Amino acid sequence: MRQDRGYIEFLERFSGVTISDPEKDIGIDIMGFDPCVVNLVETEGPVVDSNGYLLIAMCSYGEVSDGRLVTWEYDFAFDATGNRREGIYRLVALGGENLGEFEWYVGNFEEWLAELVERSGYYAKPVSRNY
């Protein structure tokens, strides 16, 4: 995390962000230290998962399909072990089930944030493991 200056500057300026749109069933959390966001330090459970990833953002979505709610989530993290390539890693889940493991996604936080803005905060529903 310390190696990604863009994320540090983001935290210094905003201390995290929560965006929700109940009408579109979208929720975006960029973790930080403000009590109004998902707090990096005061979160339940370990800050770093058992595989050495530090979760920094969650993008959650839902839609009603054939009368039932379908949910999906894109999680973004840093490698906390120092043994992997620097950058942002992504994990995709559909209906609460992970569709694989964290995989390297982009080179840094600023690149990821620019993509999130370009997408208007929306990552499409994965159809399978081949998202």
pLDDT score for 62: 94
Is the residue at 130 inside a domain?
Answer: no
Tell me what the mean pLDDT of segment 14-22 comes to.
83
Residue 36 has pLDDT above 70, yes or no: no
Distance of CA 65 to the CA centre of its chain: 24
pLDDT tops 50 at residue 88:
yes
* 43 three-state secondary structure: coil
- Inside any domain, residue 131: no
Q: Is residue 9 part of a domain?
A: yes
Q: Is the pLDDT of residue 25 over 60?
A: yes
Structural domains in the chain (count): 1
Please tell me the predicted confidence (pLDDT) of residue 24: 82
- Give residue 74's identity as a one-letter amino acid code: Y
Question: For residue 3, what pLDDT band results from cuts at 50, 70 and 90?
Answer: confident
Closest listed residue to residue 76, CA positions, set 63, 92, 95: 92
Which structural domain, as residue segments, surrounds residue 48? 5-118
Residue 37 lies in a domain: yes
- Is 83 among the domain residues? yes
Q: What is the pLDDT of residues 53-69, one digit of tens each?
A: 999 999 999 998 889 89
What mean pLDDT, rounded, does the chain reach? 87
Q: Confidence class of residue 48 from pLDDT cuts 50, 70 and 90?
A: confident
Q: What percent of the chain has pLDDT over 90?
A: 60
Residue 93 placed within a domain: yes
**Does residue 74 lie in a domain region?**
yes
Is residue 125 a part of any domain in this protein?
A: no
Give the integer Cα–Cα distance in Å for 18 and 127. 26
Burial 32-64 (b: 16+ CB within 10 A, else e): beeeebbebeeeeeeeeeeeebbbbbbbbbeee
| Segment 74-96 mean pLDDT | 96
